[in-house]
Amino acid sequence: MAGYRAATAEQAAFLSELLDHDLLLETGVPGVYGQGVDFERAREAFTALVTRAAEPDHPESMRFPPLLPRYQIETNGYLASFPHLAGSVFSFDGSDAEALELEARAGRHEDWSGLQSMTDLVVLPAACYPVYPEIAKRGSLPAHGVTVDTGSSWVFRNEASGDPARMQIFHMLEFVRIGDPDEVAAFRDDWLRRTSGIFQRVGITVESELATDPFFGRAGRMLAANQRAQELKFELVAQVGGPDPTAIASFNYHQDHFTLIYGIDLEGGGVAHTGCVAFGLERITLAMFRANGLELRRWPVDVCAELWP
Ligand code: ATP
Ligand code: ZN
């Protein structure tokens, strides 16, 4: 399997416990799991908790499907930075004879990719991506910019791994801030503080770390160095699969990357900036099970009171 990352002994042991407890359900492909009832209950409760925590920001809610027009990743820089993580949707548009050939090859589990062609869709790689073109359509921003809540959105990344914390498809919830550079930076820093408190209250011990995105290739090493030097990305890391801690939430300041591409301006002129706070909901849920035990009904009362007020 291309790019498969093997699990550490500790990650493999955690995964088998999760499967034994019917928290995750195996599909046969690493990083693609079904979710049992208790896992989903905990994930949805955390989603609701963080949504409540955002109420003072009065975010506008926007919901998008887990498919994105291919045009967007052709435009927004994703393919330059993360060509290795992208997933594209292909389908069949051929003749009767080609359909028979496709079925025959597929039936023998041979390569049938040559009989399919690219559609206009890719699988959504980050919950915030559909937000920028939507905001751009409105013309210039209102005086204090906008804050958007993407809700819990399925996203895909081509990174098969035996580590239960590294999935290929998972839920991401983002709060996206678009506005004046100072407001965006303050939003990012404020959420970093607020989120540490939220994690503490559901039993997860976190550390804040300066981070970089997994940029591709040689040019990517430059991008990562620049991102680190300018302190554009922070992560809260926690014990999930172990032994090293894993990022369960990210706090990103994109500066004018998206606003220049999409032409999003401040009211009265001037380029706006963007930032996003991204919650990896499966990793957070796994961290809660790791910290509070694999039996949901035995979780500490104060943790349950936070999740199910
Ligand atoms: P962008 O600035 O491009 O929008 P982002 O902040 O939305 O980036 P990441 O920081 O890469 O995206 O991911 C956000 C969160 O999603 C991470 O903090 C992590 O919790 C979760 N996550 C990322 N990759 C995986 C994965 N393979 N499996 C499970 N969760 C993941
Ligand atoms: Zn984002």
pLDDT digits (tens, 9 = 90+) for 275-308: 999 999 999 999 999 999 999 999 999 999 999 9
Q: Which ligand is nearest to the CA of 253?
A: 1
Please give the distance of CA 171 from its chain centroid, rounded to a whole number: 6
Residues with CB under 6 A from ligand 1: 126, 128, 157, 159, 166-167, 170, 172, 174, 213, 235, 247-250, 252, 276, 278, 280, 282-283
Element holding 100 (H helix, E strand): helix 96-107
Residue pair 266/141 in contact (Cβ under 8 Å)? The answer is yes
The predicted-structure confidence for 53-106, as pLDDT tens digits, reads as follows: 999 999 999 999 999 999 999 999 999 999 999 999 999 999 999 999 999 999
Ion ligand 2 contact residues with beta carbon within 5 A:
126, 128, 174, 276, 278
Instruction: Please list the pLDDT of the chain residue by residue as tens digits (309 residues).
Output: 568 999 999 999 999 999 999 999 999 999 999 999 999 999 999 999 999 999 999 999 999 999 999 999 999 999 999 999 999 999 999 999 999 999 999 999 999 999 999 999 999 999 999 999 999 999 889 989 999 999 999 999 999 999 999 999 999 999 999 999 999 999 999 999 999 999 999 999 999 999 999 999 999 999 999 999 999 999 999 999 989 999 999 999 999 999 999 999 998 888 899 999 999 999 999 999 999 999 999 999 999 999 999
Q: Which residues pair with residue 175 across a beta bridge?
A: 149, 277
Closest protein CA for atom 11 of ligand 1: 213
Q: Which of 157, 171, 167, 153 is nearest to 26 (CA)?
A: 167
Helix residue ranges, H only, 21-62: 37-53
